Protein backbone atom coordinates (compact mmCIF):
# COMPACT_ATOMS: atom_id res chain seq x y z
CA UNK A 1 0.00 0.00 0.00
CA UNK A 2 2.90 2.35 0.70
CA UNK A 3 3.91 2.24 -2.97
CA UNK A 4 0.37 3.12 -4.05
CA UNK A 5 0.34 6.10 -1.69
CA UNK A 6 3.73 7.23 -2.99
CA UNK A 7 2.59 6.95 -6.60
CA UNK A 8 -0.54 8.97 -5.80
CA UNK A 9 1.61 11.51 -3.90
CA UNK A 10 -0.58 11.24 -0.79
CA UNK A 11 1.46 12.21 2.30
CA UNK A 12 2.07 9.41 4.79
CA UNK A 13 4.54 8.26 7.43
CA UNK A 14 5.53 4.79 8.57
CA UNK A 15 5.82 3.59 12.18
CA UNK A 16 4.39 6.86 13.50
CA UNK A 17 3.96 7.08 17.33
CA UNK A 18 0.31 7.64 18.16
CA UNK A 19 1.35 9.38 21.39
CA UNK A 20 2.09 12.38 19.16
CA UNK A 21 -1.48 12.45 17.89
CA UNK A 22 -3.67 11.99 20.96
CA UNK A 23 -4.42 14.40 23.80
CA UNK A 24 -3.80 11.58 26.31
CA UNK A 25 -0.22 11.54 24.90
CA UNK A 26 -0.07 7.76 24.87
CA UNK A 27 -0.14 5.14 22.15
CA UNK A 28 2.03 2.75 20.17
CA UNK A 29 3.13 3.10 16.56
CA UNK A 30 0.84 3.11 13.52
CA UNK A 31 2.49 1.14 10.68
CA UNK A 32 1.06 3.60 8.13
CA UNK A 33 -0.13 7.09 9.09
CA UNK A 34 -1.83 8.86 6.17
CA UNK A 35 -2.46 12.62 6.04
CA UNK A 36 -4.67 13.57 3.08
CA UNK A 37 -4.76 17.23 2.02
CA UNK A 38 -8.02 17.11 0.09
CA UNK A 39 -11.25 15.18 -0.19
CA UNK A 40 -9.89 13.48 -3.32
CA UNK A 41 -6.80 12.27 -1.45
CA UNK A 42 -8.90 11.09 1.50
CA UNK A 43 -11.19 9.09 -0.80
CA UNK A 44 -8.20 7.61 -2.66
CA UNK A 45 -6.41 6.67 0.59
CA UNK A 46 -9.52 4.92 1.92
CA UNK A 47 -9.79 3.08 -1.41
CA UNK A 48 -6.20 1.85 -1.14
CA UNK A 49 -6.88 0.55 2.37
CA UNK A 50 -9.82 -1.47 1.04
CA UNK A 51 -7.89 -2.60 -2.04
CA UNK A 52 -4.95 -3.88 0.01
CA UNK A 53 -7.27 -5.23 2.74
CA UNK A 54 -5.61 -3.05 5.34
CA UNK A 55 -7.87 -2.26 8.33
CA UNK A 56 -8.00 1.50 8.84
CA UNK A 57 -8.91 3.86 11.66
CA UNK A 58 -10.15 7.38 10.90
CA UNK A 59 -8.52 9.91 13.24
CA UNK A 60 -9.32 13.53 14.00
CA UNK A 61 -7.50 15.33 16.78
CA UNK A 62 -7.39 12.23 19.00
CA UNK A 63 -8.98 14.13 21.88
CA UNK A 64 -11.39 11.37 22.90
CA UNK A 65 -9.16 8.38 22.25
CA UNK A 66 -7.08 5.94 24.28
CA UNK A 67 -4.60 4.03 22.11
CA UNK A 68 -2.91 0.75 23.05
CA UNK A 69 0.76 0.80 24.03
CA UNK A 70 1.45 -1.92 21.44
CA UNK A 71 2.05 -1.32 17.72
CA UNK A 72 -1.30 -1.00 15.96
CA UNK A 73 -2.52 -3.73 13.60
CA UNK A 74 -4.08 -1.14 11.26
CA UNK A 75 -3.43 1.97 9.21
CA UNK A 76 -4.48 5.40 10.46
CA UNK A 77 -6.03 7.97 8.14
CA UNK A 78 -5.67 11.36 9.80
CA UNK A 79 -7.79 14.33 8.78
CA UNK A 80 -6.12 17.19 10.62
CA UNK A 81 -4.26 20.43 9.90
CA UNK A 82 -3.92 19.58 6.21
CA UNK A 83 -7.70 19.22 5.92
CA UNK A 84 -9.18 22.05 7.97
CA UNK A 85 -10.81 24.58 5.65
CA UNK A 86 -13.68 26.72 6.96
CA UNK A 87 -15.98 28.56 4.57
CA UNK A 88 -19.02 30.81 4.84
CA UNK A 89 -21.25 29.11 2.26
CA UNK A 90 -24.53 31.02 2.80
CA UNK A 91 -25.89 33.66 5.19
CA UNK A 92 -25.69 32.11 8.66
CA UNK A 93 -24.06 28.93 7.34
CA UNK A 94 -20.49 27.68 7.75
CA UNK A 95 -19.15 24.57 6.04
CA UNK A 96 -16.19 23.00 7.83
CA UNK A 97 -13.84 20.27 6.72
CA UNK A 98 -13.66 17.55 9.36
CA UNK A 99 -10.05 18.24 10.33
CA UNK A 100 -10.83 21.80 11.45
CA UNK A 101 -10.67 22.37 15.20
CA UNK A 102 -13.95 23.18 16.93
CA UNK A 103 -12.21 26.11 18.62
CA UNK A 104 -11.22 27.58 15.24
CA UNK A 105 -14.79 27.10 13.99
CA UNK A 106 -16.06 28.99 17.04
CA UNK A 107 -13.66 31.86 16.36
CA UNK A 108 -14.78 32.12 12.74
CA UNK A 109 -18.44 32.18 13.78
CA UNK A 110 -17.68 34.96 16.27
CA UNK A 111 -15.78 36.98 13.65
CA UNK A 112 -18.72 36.64 11.26
CA UNK A 113 -21.18 37.74 13.95
CA UNK A 114 -22.83 34.31 14.12
CA UNK A 115 -24.09 32.79 17.36
CA UNK A 116 -24.88 29.23 18.39
CA UNK A 117 -21.42 27.72 18.74
CA UNK A 118 -20.26 29.46 21.89
CA UNK A 119 -20.70 26.34 24.05
CA UNK A 120 -18.12 24.49 21.93
CA UNK A 121 -15.33 27.00 22.51
CA UNK A 122 -12.56 25.08 24.23
CA UNK A 123 -13.81 21.57 23.39
CA UNK A 124 -10.44 20.09 22.35
CA UNK A 125 -11.61 18.15 19.33
CA UNK A 126 -12.04 18.42 15.58
CA UNK A 127 -15.24 18.92 13.61
CA UNK A 128 -15.23 15.28 12.48
CA UNK A 129 -14.74 13.90 15.97
CA UNK A 130 -17.30 16.31 17.37
CA UNK A 131 -19.93 15.24 14.85
CA UNK A 132 -19.10 11.56 15.39
CA UNK A 133 -19.90 11.77 19.11
CA UNK A 134 -22.31 14.74 19.09
CA UNK A 135 -19.95 16.74 21.28
CA UNK A 136 -21.51 19.12 23.76
CA UNK A 137 -20.97 21.26 26.84
CA UNK A 138 -22.80 23.79 29.01
CA UNK A 139 -26.23 22.77 27.73
CA UNK A 140 -25.36 22.85 24.02
CA UNK A 141 -24.74 20.01 21.56
CA UNK A 142 -23.65 19.91 17.94
CA UNK A 143 -26.97 18.30 17.03
CA UNK A 144 -28.57 21.70 17.59
CA UNK A 145 -26.59 23.36 14.78
CA UNK A 146 -25.33 20.66 12.36
CA UNK A 147 -27.64 20.41 9.35
CA UNK A 148 -25.75 18.25 6.83
CA UNK A 149 -22.73 15.93 6.91
CA UNK A 150 -20.77 14.72 3.90
CA UNK A 151 -19.09 11.35 4.35
CA UNK A 152 -17.59 8.30 2.69
CA UNK A 153 -19.39 5.03 3.42
CA UNK A 154 -17.85 1.59 3.94
CA UNK A 155 -18.04 0.76 0.24
CA UNK A 156 -16.33 3.97 -0.82
CA UNK A 157 -19.43 5.88 -1.89
CA UNK A 158 -19.67 9.62 -1.24
CA UNK A 159 -22.88 10.41 0.61
CA UNK A 160 -24.70 13.15 2.52
CA UNK A 161 -26.93 12.87 5.57
CA UNK A 162 -29.11 15.51 7.17
CA UNK A 163 -31.86 16.04 9.71
CA UNK A 164 -33.16 12.94 11.46
CA UNK A 165 -30.87 10.71 9.36
CA UNK A 166 -27.98 11.91 11.52
CA UNK A 167 -29.57 10.13 14.52
CA UNK A 168 -28.02 12.46 17.08
CA UNK A 169 -28.45 11.65 20.75
CA UNK A 170 -26.28 11.95 23.87
CA UNK A 171 -22.68 11.38 22.70
CA UNK A 172 -23.96 9.44 19.70
CA UNK A 173 -24.68 9.88 15.99
CA UNK A 174 -25.36 7.70 12.94
CA UNK A 175 -21.57 7.46 12.55
CA UNK A 176 -20.95 5.91 15.98
CA UNK A 177 -19.48 2.43 15.65
CA UNK A 178 -19.52 2.54 11.84
CA UNK A 179 -16.63 2.67 9.39
CA UNK A 180 -17.69 5.97 7.83
CA UNK A 181 -15.20 8.75 7.05
CA UNK A 182 -16.70 12.14 7.93
CA UNK A 183 -15.46 14.67 5.36
CA UNK A 184 -17.28 17.90 6.19
CA UNK A 185 -20.27 19.33 8.04
CA UNK A 186 -22.58 22.30 7.58
CA UNK A 187 -23.43 24.42 10.62
CA UNK A 188 -26.55 26.62 10.71
CA UNK A 189 -26.15 29.60 13.04
CA UNK A 190 -28.00 32.84 13.74
CA UNK A 191 -26.90 36.50 13.80
CA UNK A 192 -25.58 37.94 17.03
CA UNK A 193 -23.48 40.80 18.33
CA UNK A 194 -19.77 40.03 18.19
CA UNK A 195 -19.14 41.52 21.63
CA UNK A 196 -21.81 39.36 23.26
CA UNK A 197 -20.68 36.22 21.41
CA UNK A 198 -17.08 36.86 22.46
CA UNK A 199 -18.10 37.44 26.08
CA UNK A 200 -19.96 34.11 26.23
CA UNK A 201 -17.03 32.28 24.64
CA UNK A 202 -14.57 33.73 27.12
CA UNK A 203 -16.90 32.91 30.01
CA UNK A 204 -17.04 29.25 28.94
CA UNK A 205 -13.27 29.15 28.44
CA UNK A 206 -12.62 30.63 31.86
CA UNK A 207 -14.90 28.02 33.45
CA UNK A 208 -12.82 25.31 31.76
CA UNK A 209 -9.53 26.81 32.90
CA UNK A 210 -10.70 27.18 36.51
CA UNK A 211 -12.29 23.73 36.87
CA UNK A 212 -10.45 21.39 34.50
CA UNK A 213 -6.84 20.07 34.61
CA UNK A 214 -5.93 21.46 31.20
CA UNK A 215 -2.22 21.37 31.98
CA UNK A 216 -2.16 17.55 31.81
CA UNK A 217 -2.79 15.07 29.02
CA UNK A 218 -6.34 13.72 29.12
CA UNK A 219 -9.33 12.94 26.94
CA UNK A 220 -11.60 15.41 28.70
CA UNK A 221 -14.50 13.84 30.57
CA UNK A 222 -13.54 10.19 30.89
CA UNK A 223 -17.01 8.78 31.64
CA UNK A 224 -20.46 9.45 30.25
CA UNK A 225 -23.04 11.12 32.47
CA UNK A 226 -25.19 8.33 33.98
CA UNK A 227 -28.92 8.92 34.04
CA UNK A 228 -29.88 10.71 37.24
CA UNK A 229 -26.35 11.64 38.34
CA UNK A 230 -23.02 13.14 37.34
CA UNK A 231 -19.95 10.96 36.89
CA UNK A 232 -17.57 13.47 38.51
CA UNK A 233 -19.78 13.83 41.60
CA UNK A 234 -20.05 10.05 42.02
CA UNK A 235 -16.28 9.60 41.68
CA UNK A 236 -15.63 12.39 44.19
CA UNK A 237 -18.24 10.93 46.55
CA UNK A 238 -16.32 7.64 46.52
CA UNK A 239 -13.13 9.40 47.59
CA UNK A 240 -11.32 8.62 44.36
CA UNK A 241 -9.81 12.02 43.62
CA UNK A 242 -6.06 11.53 43.34
CA UNK A 243 -6.28 7.74 42.89
CA UNK A 244 -3.11 6.83 41.00
CA UNK A 245 -1.64 3.92 39.05
CA UNK A 246 1.87 4.69 37.81
CA UNK A 247 1.63 8.09 36.12
CA UNK A 248 -2.14 7.90 35.51
CA UNK A 249 -4.41 9.59 38.03
CA UNK A 250 -7.96 10.67 38.78
CA UNK A 251 -7.49 14.44 38.69
CA UNK A 252 -7.48 16.15 42.07
CA UNK A 253 -8.91 19.22 40.36
CA UNK A 254 -11.84 17.54 38.56
CA UNK A 255 -12.83 13.96 39.44
CA UNK A 256 -14.36 13.41 35.99
CA UNK A 257 -10.91 13.53 34.37
CA UNK A 258 -8.36 10.75 34.31
CA UNK A 259 -5.04 12.43 33.51
CA UNK A 260 -1.56 11.56 32.31
CA UNK A 261 0.80 13.20 34.78
CA UNK A 262 3.69 12.51 32.40
CA UNK A 263 4.85 9.14 31.11
CA UNK A 264 1.62 7.22 31.74
CA UNK A 265 0.84 4.15 29.65
CA UNK A 266 -2.45 3.04 28.18
CA UNK A 267 -2.42 0.10 30.61
CA UNK A 268 -2.09 2.44 33.60
CA UNK A 269 -4.94 4.68 32.41
CA UNK A 270 -7.14 1.62 31.85
CA UNK A 271 -6.30 0.36 35.35
CA UNK A 272 -7.42 3.67 36.87
CA UNK A 273 -10.64 3.61 34.84
CA UNK A 274 -11.37 0.01 35.84
CA UNK A 275 -10.86 0.78 39.54
CA UNK A 276 -13.11 3.85 39.32
CA UNK A 277 -15.86 1.90 37.54
CA UNK A 278 -15.73 -0.96 40.05
CA UNK A 279 -15.65 1.30 43.12
CA UNK A 280 -18.48 3.56 41.95
CA UNK A 281 -20.65 0.53 41.15
CA UNK A 282 -20.00 -1.06 44.55
CA UNK A 283 -20.53 2.12 46.57
CA UNK A 284 -23.34 3.87 44.66
CA UNK A 285 -24.96 1.31 42.37
CA UNK A 286 -24.29 3.45 39.28
CA UNK A 287 -22.61 1.79 36.31
CA UNK A 288 -20.22 4.24 34.68
CA UNK A 289 -19.57 3.90 30.96
CA UNK A 290 -16.45 5.32 29.30
CA UNK A 291 -16.88 8.33 27.05
CA UNK A 292 -13.38 7.61 25.74
CA UNK A 293 -12.96 5.41 22.66
CA UNK A 294 -10.38 2.62 22.72
CA UNK A 295 -8.04 1.73 19.85
CA UNK A 296 -7.89 -1.01 18.80
Angle at 277 between CA 227 and CA 121, to 5 degrees: 60
Contacts of 220 (CB under 8 A, 6+ apart): 23, 63, 64, 123, 124, 212, 257, 291
Active site residues: 171, 221, 291
Amino acid sequence: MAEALKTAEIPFMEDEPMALHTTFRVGGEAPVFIEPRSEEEAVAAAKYCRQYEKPVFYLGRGSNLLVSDDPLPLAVLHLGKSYNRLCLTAPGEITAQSGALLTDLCRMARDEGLSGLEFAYGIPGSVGGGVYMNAGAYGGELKDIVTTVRYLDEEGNLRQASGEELAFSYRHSMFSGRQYLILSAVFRLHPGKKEEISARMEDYMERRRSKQPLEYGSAGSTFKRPEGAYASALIDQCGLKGYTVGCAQVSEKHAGFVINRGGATCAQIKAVMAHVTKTVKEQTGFQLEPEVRFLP
